[in-house]
Amino acid sequence: MKARLLYFVAYYFFWVLAFLVQKPVFMLYQWSTSQNYGLADWLKVAWHGLPMDFSAAGYLSAPVFLLVLISCFTGAGKWLDKAVRVLTAVLITIAVVCFVADMFLYPFWGYRLDVTPLFYMETPKNAVASGTAAQSLACIAFFVIEWLAYFIVFRLFHNKFYRIEGRSLPTLAPMLLLLGVLFVVIRGGVTVSVMNAGHVYFSKDMFLNHSAVNPIWNFFSSFAKDRDFASQYRFMDGADAHKLMEKMIEPSCLPADMVLLETRRPNIVLFILESFGSNICEIAGGAKGLTPNLDRIAREGLFFSNFYANSYRTDRGLVAILSAYPGQPVTSLMKYPEKSQNVPTLPGALKQNGYDLSFFYGGDENFTNMRSYLLHAGFEKRVCDKDFSSEELSTKWGAYDHVVMQRLVDDLAQPQKEPFCKVLLSLNSHEPFDVPFKKFADPYPNSVAYTDSCIGAFYDFLKQSPYWNNTLFILLPDHAKPYPATMTNQEVARYQAPMIWTGGALKRPGVVTQIGSQIDLARTLLAQLQIDGSDFVFSKNIFSEKSPKFAFYAYNDGFGFVAPGGASVYDCGGNVLLREDDPQYTACGKAFLQCLMDDLAKR
C-alpha cells in the first residue's frame, strides 16, 4: 500500500525539483539582465514561484497518478513500469521543448512562453528567423543537455522509489484522498481565486516576476483563454464598462478642423516600418544619428509628436493601421480569418472610392495569415518574397528593404491608374537584423540606419517623380521596440512612435501635438478625404477638437492608457498597477480592453 503512495509523491517532487532547477538556468541565460540582481532576489524568485511550480507539477504528474490508480485494480506488472518510463520520456521532451523555447524567445518578446509560437509555426522558416545560427545551435545543445539531465535524474528517482507490485484495493482510499490534495494544489488553493500569474508576482521589477512564472503552466494556461474572448479581462460590470467606453468613442465622423490636403483624392503611399519607435528617432527625442532621413522628412512634412503604437507585434500593428482595430494582449485578430474578414479596412474604404491598391512586402505573405487579411482588404496586386530572386533575398526573412523599395520605384515608373494607394511593409529592422550595411556595431541601430537610408533614397525619388504634387506620403511603424536594452516591455515610452505625413499633396508642414495612435489613422485620413469612416468604431479623428484624446496599447497580458494628463499601465496577469497617474485612466483602460474583447467575441 505504501509503495504506490511513496512512488507518486516522489514522482511529483521530481517535477518540482525540475522546475526549481530551471529558474536559475533561465535567469543565467538572461545574464545581461539578471547579473544586476543579488542572491536574495534569485532566492525570492524560486520561493515565490513555488506555488505555480506545485500546480504545474500536479498537471504533469496527473497521468502517472491515473496509471498508478488503475494498477490498484489490475496489478502492477511490467506494463506499469514501462508505461511510466515511456510517458515520462514524452513529458520530459515536452517540458524541455517549453524550457528551451521560453529561454530563447524571452529576450525577443519580453514575456514568458504562451501559445503564440504555435501560431507562427505554421510557417516554420519565419518562426525561427529571429534567431542567428549560433542561437539555433545553442538551443539544440540546451535541449540535448537538459533532456539527458532530467531523464537521468528521473531514472534515479524511479529506480529508488519504484516498488509497486500486484493489486492493492486498500490503497484506493488514500489514493483518492491524495487526488483531492492534488486537485487543490493544481487549482492553487481552496479560495475563490485560482492559480494565476498574480500568485507568484512579488516585485515591482517585472523581470523578477516573469522569472518566477512557470513556463509550462503559462503555456498550457494560455490555451484556455485563446478563443474564449468574451470571458477574458472582466474588470467590471458590462454596463459600467460600456458606459465608460461611450466617452472614448467618437460619436460620429467628425469633420477635420484643419484641411491639410490640396486635393480630395491624392495618391497615397503608406510605408509601415518594422520596429521604428520614437526611441530611435532624434527628432522624436530618441537616439541621435540613426535616422537622419526620417528626421529630415519629418521636418519637411507634418510630424505627429505624440503618437503611439497599439501593440507589440507586426500582425497586430498591421490590423491596427489598416483596420483601426486595437491590438489585444494575448491574441491576434489576424490569427482568425473568420473574424478578420468581418472588420472594415482602410484600403477597402479607399477602393470603394476609386483607389487602385497594391501591397509591397519582402517576406512570406502567408506568415500569420497575412495573405487572407490582405485579400480581404482588397489588395489584389501584391508583391512578396516569391517575386524576388535568390540574390535579392536576405538569409532570414526575405528581400532586403532597398530591393523592395526599388520594386516600388520600378512600379511607379510605369503608367498608373489614379488615384492609387500603395502600401509597403519593411522588414530588415527585425531580429536578427540581417542587412547589407555596416555603420553601427549594435545590430538593431545598424538595421534602423540601413532602412532609414533606403527611405531617404525613395523619398528623393518620389520628390522628383511626376506623381509628387498629387501624392500624400505617410510613414509610421508597425510597432516599436524596447531600446535601449534597459527599456521594459510595458512602459509608455516603448510604444511611442513617429508618424509623418509629407508629399506635394500636403498644404503645409508642421508638428501635431495631439495624442493619437495607429487606430486613429483611418478616421483622420478619411476625414481629410471627405470619406465616411463610421465603420471604424475604435478610430478617432486626430484633427477634430471634439474627438476623445487618448491612446491605448496592449502588451502581453497587460495594457497602457495614455491621456493628456499622464498614463496608467496595468499588468492583467498579475493584477498589478505598474503606473497610475490618475485612477480614471486605469478605469478607462480596463473598460476599453473589456469592450474590445466583447467586440472581438462578436466578430
Q: What is the dihedral of CA 159, 165, 167, 168, to 10 degrees?
A: -70
Alpha-carbon distance of 573 to 201, in angstroms, equals 9
- Cβ atoms of 542 and 555 within 8 Å: the answer is no
Give residue 391's pLDDT: 85
Cα→Cα distances 534→56, 268, 345, 523, Å:
47, 21, 12, 8
* Residue 532 DSSP SS3: coil
Q: Do residue 261 and residue 199 come from a single domain? A: no
With beta carbons less than 8 A apart as the criterion, state whether 393 and 238 touch. Answer: no
Of 129 and 117, which is predicted with more confidence? 117
With H, G, I as helix, E, B as strand and everything else as coil, classify residue 578.
strand
Cβ atoms within 10 Å, residue 27: 21
Q: Answer for the pair 311, 317: CB distance below 8 angstroms, yes or no.
A: yes
How far apart are alpha carbons 541 and 544 in whole angstroms? Answer: 6
Indicate whether 204 and 247 sit together in one domain: no
Question: Which residues make beta-bridge pairs with 553?
Answer: 560
Report the range of poorest mean pLDDT among 144-153, 204-213, 471-480: 204-213
d(CA 94, CA 216) in angstroms, rounded, equals: 9
Do 277 and 409 lie in one domain? The reply is: yes
Confidence of residue 112 (pLDDT cuts 50, 70, 90): confident
- What's the grid cell of residue 603? 466578430
Block residue for cell numbers 477634430: 544
Residues 184 and 251 in one domain: no
**Of 339, 242, 320, 287, residue with least CA distance to 476:** 320
CA 32 to chain CA centroid, Å, is 22
Distance of alpha carbon 99 from the chain centroid: 19
The residue from 166, 194, 228 where one domain ends is 228
Question: Taking 80 as the threshold, does the pLDDT of residue 127 lie above it?
Answer: no
Q: DSSP letter string over 33-93?
A: HHTTS-HHHHHHHHHHHHHHHHHHHHHHHHHHHHHHHHHHHH---HHHHHHHHHHHHHHHH
Q: How confident is the model at residue 573 (pLDDT cuts 50, 70, 90)?
A: confident
At residue 227 the predicted structure's pLDDT band, cuts being 50, 70 and 90, is low
- Tell me the one-letter amino acid at 533: G
Residues 177 and 53 in one domain: yes
Residues 6+ apart with CB under 8 A from 131: 104, 139, 431, 432
Distance CA(42)–CA(212), nearest Å, equals 9
pLDDT at residue number 121: 55
160 C-beta neighbours (distance < 10 Å), count: 10
State the pLDDT at residue 432: 87
Residue range of the domain that includes 374: 242-602
pLDDT(119) > 80? no
Instruction: Report helix angle 133-161 to 78-109, nearest 10.
Output: 150
Phi/psi for 361 (5° steps) reads: -155, 135
Q: How far apart are CA 91 and CA 85, in angstroms?
A: 10
Kindly indicate the confidence band of residue 130, based on its pLDDT and cuts at 50, 70 and 90. low
Cis-peptide, bond into residue 170, ω within 30° of zero:
no
CA-based max dimension of the chain? 90
CA quadruple 43, 49, 53, 54: dihedral, nearest 10: 100
Torsion sign, CA atoms 41, 43, 45, 51:
negative
For residue 194, which phi and psi values (nearest 5 degrees)?
-95, 170
Return the pLDDT at 564: 96
**Residue 164 lies inside a defined structural domain of this protein:** yes
Same structural domain for residues 307 and 199? no
Top pLDDT among 112 and 297 is at 297
Q: Are 352 and 365 in contact (CB under 8 A)?
A: no
* Count of domains forming the chain: 2
Show which of 180, 202, 228 is a domain's final residue. Answer: 228
Same domain assignment for residues 505 and 594:
yes
- Nine-digit cell string for 468: 509628387
pLDDT in tens, 415-446: 999 999 999 999 999 988 989 999 999 999 99
CB neighbour list of residue 216: distance below 8 Å, 6 or more residues apart: 19, 56, 59, 60, 95, 98
Separation of alpha carbons 489 and 486, rounded Å: 10
- pTM here is 0.83
Is 233 inside any structural domain? no
Contact 329, 558 (CB under 8 A): yes
Residues 6+ apart with CB under 8 A from 392: 399, 400, 403
Instruction: State how far the Cα of 430 lies from the Cα of 197, in Å rounded to an integer.
Output: 29
- Residues ≥6 apart with Cβ < 8 Å to 269: 408, 421, 422, 424, 462, 471, 472, 473, 474, 503
Tell me how far apart the alpha carbons of residues 94 and 18 are, in angstroms, rounded to a whole number. 13
- Is 235 inside a domain boundary? no
> Does 395 share its domain with 502?
yes
237 assigned to some structural domain: no
Of 47-61, 129-143, 265-279, 323-337, where does mean pLDDT reach its minimum? 129-143
pLDDT band at 105 (very low <50, low <70, confident <90, very high): confident
Residue 297 lies in a domain: yes
Residues 442 and 343 in one domain: yes
Pair (415, 522) in one structural domain: yes
Residue 395 has pLDDT above 80, yes or no: no
Note the pLDDT of residue 109: 78
Q: Could you say which of 228, 253, 268 is where a domain stops?
A: 228
Q: What is the mean pLDDT of residues 300-324?
A: 97
Q: Does 566 have pLDDT greater than 90?
A: yes
pLDDT at 124: 56
Its sign, for the CA torsion 448, 364, 519, 346, is positive
Same domain, 82 and 161: yes
pLDDT class for 260, splitting at 50, 70, 90?
very high
- Given this model, what pLDDT does residue 248 score? 96
pLDDT tens profile 172-201? 778 788 888 888 888 887 765 678 777 888
Whether residue 378 is contained in a domain is answered as: yes
Which percentage of the chain shows pLDDT scores above 70? 95
| Side-chain-facing half-sphere of 455: CA atoms under 13 Å | 35
* Residue 15 in domain: yes
194-213: burial string, b at 16+ Cβ within 10 Å, e else: ebbbebbbbbeebbbbbbbb
Q: Is residue 96 part of a domain?
A: yes
Cell readout for 62 is: 496527473
Beta-carbon count within 10 A of 394 CB: 21
Phi and psi, residue 479, nearest 5°: -170, 170
Return the SS3 of 530: coil
Find the Cα–Cα–Cα–Cα dihedral 261, 274, 426, 562, rounded to 10°.
Answer: -20
Shared-domain flag, residues 224 and 250: no
Query: What is the CATH classification number for the domain harbouring 390?
Result: 3.40.720.10
